[in-house]
Amino acid sequence: MLLKIVFFTSNYLLSSYASLVVVITTNYFRVISKDWTHVGRADASDELKLTFALKQQNIHLLEERLRLVSDPDSAHYGKYLSLEEVASLVRPSELTQKTVHSWLQHHGISSCHTVHTQDFLQCTMTAEIAEKLLPGSRFHHYVRDGQSIVRSSGPYAVSDNVHQHLDFVGGLHRLPPTKKDGNRKQQKFKGEVHLGVTPAILRERYNLTAADVGSDQDNRQAVAQFLEQYYHPADLAEFMSIFGRTFKHLSEVDQVIGTQGEGKAGIEASLDVEYIMSTGANISTWVFSNSGRHESQEPFLQWILLLSNMSDLPRVHTISYGDDEDSLSTAYMMRINTEFMKAGVRGISLLFASGDNGAGCRHMGKDQNTFRPSFPASSPYVTTVGGTSFKNPFKVSYEVTDYISGGGFSNVFKMPDYQASAVEAYLKTGTSALPPASYFNTSGRAYPDMAALSKNYWVVMDRVPIPWVSGTSASTPVVGGMLSLINGQRFAKGLPALGFLNPLLYKLKGQGLFDVTEGCQQACLDEQVQGKGFCSAPSWDPVTGWGTPNYPALLQALLNERPEL
C-alpha cells in the first residue's frame, strides 16, 4: 500500500511526487516555541474532534456559476442557488464518500457528523485511535493565555488511495492566530485630541439620516466571533442607550449560533456587534459564536461548516479574522475559497477585515524582506475592507489612509478578472511611488476592495465606555451594516440580495464612494522601504480600495436591478 508521508508544520499542503504524496507546511515549530507552552502528551483516552474535508466535484462549474450570478451584465445576475442546489453541484462522488467512510469505520470510528453538502465529516475519537488512523501523529497539550489546545507535533501518514479523496484534515496542526492578529487595537492616548468615532459621527460622515434604518422583517445580518471573544448583551444595551438615541435601533441580538461564553467580554466581539447594529440599524442580527472550547476544534473551520449546513442564513456576514498567507497551506486556502464560492452563489456577502499590519513584513534572510499578505483578506471571493482616519482629528473631515490598514497582493491567488484593469491602472500611474517589485506579487489578487473609518472608536465593554479602539475590525462591520441597509431597500423593490459584491463594485469604478487619495500604510522597517508600504491614490489602490461609503450615492448605485455602469 502506498503511503502519504506528511512532513508537518502548521497546515496541510498536499502535493504529489512519484508514488509519494507529500504534505509540506511551514512555521509550526516557530509558532509553538514562541507563543505556546508545551504541557505534555495527550492521554490515550483524550477526546479529539477531527474534520475531514472530502474532495468536491464540479468546482469549475461552481466558479462559473458564481461569476454569472455576480456579474450585473449577465442574464443570470442575482439568480442564486439554494443550499440543496449547491449540494447537488459539489457533493463528493459516491466513491469518495465510500472510501473515506470505510477507512474511518475500519479504525472503529463511527461517531461522525456530516453537513448538508456532504463534503465535510467531523468525527469524534480518542487520541489513541487518531494516532492509529494517522500513523506518525503524536498529540500533545499546549497552553497560551489560559487557552488549552491539543495538536499533533509529528508527521503522519495516510494511504494514497484515501489521500486522493481528501483536501485536508482539520484539528491536527492548525493553531489559532495570536491575539495581535485579531485585527483590533486599543490606542493609548498620546496627547492628540479626538472625541472619537461613535455611531453619530459615522452617520454624519457617511450621510446616513435618522430615516436610514432597516424596515424589512426578513432582512438579516451577522458577525462571527472566534478565539474566546464574546459580546455581552448588557454591553450592547448600554451602548445603544448611550450612542443610539438619534436613530431607531435594536438593542438585542436576535440569534446566537453556537456557544456564547460567560467569561469576560472581548473588545473585538463588542466592537463587531455594536457597530454592525448601529450602521445596519434596526436589522435583525445574528452572532456566530465559535469559541473553539473543545481543544481540538478550529473555530474558523467550525464557522465554515455552519455555512454548509444552514439553509436559511443572513445575507451579510462580517468577519474580523485573519492569518498570514505563508502560515497556511495552499490546499487549505483553496478549499476555504471553495467554501466562500458556495456562499456567494447563494447570495451571501462575506466581508473580511484587511488586517492591522499594513503591508506586513516577512523576513526572508539577511537584508531580504518581502511584504506579507493576509488570508482570508486575500481571497478573490470575499469583499475585503481596509481602514481610514480623519484628516483633521478635531472634526468630521475628509478621510486619509490609516497607516495600519492591511492591503497588498496575494502570493497565492492570481488576480481575478474583475479587478485586472483597476489594478493595472494603479500600477502604471503610481510607478514612482511603488515599493520595489521584489516586495510584492504584481500578478496576485489585490486587496482591499473598499474601506471605512478604523481609528478611535468608542466601545462599551463590561458596561464601561472605552475610547480609542482602532482596527479594521471596526471598519468592516460599519460597511457590512450599510450593505444590509441597501439589501433591505433592494428587497422592498423585489430585487435579490447583493451577494458577492466585487464584480459589481469594480464595474462601478468608485461610484457611491468617497475616494481616499492621501496616506500610506506601514511595512518593513528596512533600508529599501523604510517602513512605508503602499500609498493611496485616485481611484482604486491597495490600501483603501475604491474608497469609503457615501451612503445615499452608494444606495442609488446599487438599487438598480441592472446598475448603470
Active site residues: 268, 272, 473
Q: Where are the beta strands (DSSP E) in 454-531?
A: 457-461, 464-470, 513-514, 520-522
* CA-closest candidate to residue 383, choices 306, 447, 307, 452: 447
Q: How far apart are CA 287 and CA 272, in angstroms?
A: 10
Q: How far is CA 397 from CA 204, 292, 302, 469, 555, in A?
A: 10, 41, 41, 19, 22
Q: How far apart are CA 50 and CA 173, in angstroms?
A: 11
Q: How far apart are CA 429 and CA 443, in angstroms?
A: 16
Determine the angle formed by the axes of helices 472-492 and 267-279, rounding to 10 degrees: 30
Q: Which residues pair with 149 in a beta bridge?
A: 142
Q: How far is CA 290 from CA 225, 299, 341, in A?
A: 6, 5, 21
Non-local (6+) Cβ contacts of 474 within 8 A are 184, 197, 271, 275, 387, 452, 453, 454, 455, 457
In the numeric block, which cell numbers belong to residue 111? 461517531
Q: Where are the beta strands (DSSP E) in 311-455?
A: 316-319, 323-324, 349-353, 362-365, 368-370, 374-375, 383-390, 399-401, 408-414, 444-447, 450-453
